[in-house]
Amino acid sequence: MKRLFYIFTILLLFLLSGCAPETQKTPPPETGKLLVVVSFHAMGELARAIGGDKVDIHMIIPEGEEPHDFQPKSSDLTALSQARIFIVNGCGLETWADKAVEAAGNDQLTVVTASDGADIHYVEMKQILPGRKPEKQADPHVWLSLKNAKTEARNIRDAFASADPDHADYYTQRYREFVQKTDKLYARYQLKFDTAPSRTFVTGHAAFAYLARDFGLRQLSLTNVFASGEPSARHMTELADACKAAHIGTIFVENMESPKIAETLARETGANLESIDTLEEGDEDETYLAVMEDNLEKIYASLQESH
């Protein structure tokens, strides 16, 4: 039923976009900037890092909404009909994107799948859904890897330079600066994690597998990478035992997740709750690298109190 409702909604938006008044289809005011639509906050931050003051960015998914279940509005189709670039993460996160692009009817629109060429982590679905046929699905949280963020930024740089060749050097320079800052951040925390007394941290849902892989850490989580369903009593017991054995003092709760289940685990283990940012929503004043540095510092601090 939910799938039928989704298809009906997209078809309705398609019809509305075709029947919209001409005022909706008129070109946006000339600003001299590249018009860029992004699917959600993390893509917007990477686009700002590369585009600087040469781009105007419209974010489709509003703060507080999950990218997986989102349904675009007619205003989103209008934005896509006027844009030159549409940036999505990919890896199955924006399942609605293809239909939205088709409905927008913009032949000049370039769709950038930022995760193309990234080192993708795959999840065994039978571990998440018992009884399911053996198959793997991409973990969509690609941007939470500093290494993969450089790949995503490069794809964005290439698209900006192609669509706006007059400012290609500008985009390239900002990309180089982003890579340099990212490499410095990675090197600094690699040294810190190498000296930490523990390698294990605990999160609400398994969004930080890429970050853990980057630094050789171990992530334990209450729910799976897709945050689907609630943990079983057996899983809660096993996780509580693991937390006690590792003397876990902090349980991280993502900014878009309900803390209720994490609070239960915290009471059972005597741990404290701490927020951690998946960059699925956020403040434009906080850059991608600033948020990632804050995440890394919080994880490092939690490892210092565990052993």
Q: What is the pLDDT of residue 23?
A: 29
Q: What is the pLDDT of residue 135?
A: 73
CATH number assigned to the domain covering 197-304: 3.40.50.1980
User: 168: which residues sit within 8 A by CB, 6+ positions away?
Assistant: 160, 161
Residue 37 has pLDDT above 60, yes or no: yes
Min mean pLDDT across 109-123, 185-199, 258-272 is at 258-272
Residue 218 has pLDDT above 90, yes or no: yes
Assess whether the region 9-21+34-114+142-183 and the region 197-304 belong to the same CATH fold.
yes
Q: What is the pLDDT of residue 223?
A: 77
Residue 250 has pLDDT above 90, yes or no: yes
137 by DSSP, 3-state: which?
A: strand
pTM confidence score: 0.86
pLDDT tier for residue 90 given thresholds of 50, 70 and 90: very high
Print the SS3 string covering the chain: CHHHHHHHHHHHHHHHHHHCCHHHHCCCCCCCCEEEEECCHHHHHHHHHHHHHHEEEEECCCCCCCCCCCCCCHHHHHHHHHCCEEEECCCCCCCCHHHHHHHHCCCCCEEEECCCCCCCCEEEHHHHCCCCCCCEEECCCHHHCHHHHHHHHHHHHHHHHHHCHHHHHHHHHHHHHHHHHHHHHHHHHHHHHHCCCCCEEEEEECCCHHHHHHHCCEEEEEECCCCCCCCCHHHHHHHHHHHHHCCCCEEEEECCCCCHHHHHHHHHHCCEEEEECCCCCCCCCCCHHHHHHHHHHHHHHHHHCCC
What average pLDDT does the structure give for the chain?
87
Q: What is the pLDDT of residue 226?
A: 65
Average pLDDT over residues 47-57: 98
Which carries the bigger pLDDT value, residue 306 or residue 159? Answer: 159
pLDDT tier for residue 212 given thresholds of 50, 70 and 90: very high
Compute the distance between CA of residue 248 and CA of residue 230 in angstroms, rounded to an integer: 21
Compute the distance between CA of residue 289 and CA of residue 26 in angstroms, rounded to an integer: 37
Q: What is the pLDDT of residue 154?
A: 99
Average pLDDT over residues 195-222: 94
CATH topology of domain 9-21+34-114+142-183: Rossmann fold (3.40.50)
Residue 10 has pLDDT above 60, yes or no: no
Per mean pLDDT, which of 88-102, 217-231, 252-266 is the most reliable? Answer: 88-102
Indicate the domain borders of the chain.
Answer: 9-21+34-114+142-183, 197-304
Tens digits of residue pLDDT in 254-298: 876 777 888 888 899 999 999 999 999 888 789 999 999 999 999
Residue 18 has pLDDT above 50, yes or no: no
Q: What is the pLDDT of residue 3?
A: 42
pLDDT tier for residue 36 given thresholds of 50, 70 and 90: very high
pLDDT tier for residue 9 given thresholds of 50, 70 and 90: low
The answer to whether 276 and 253 have CB atoms below 8 angstroms apart is: yes
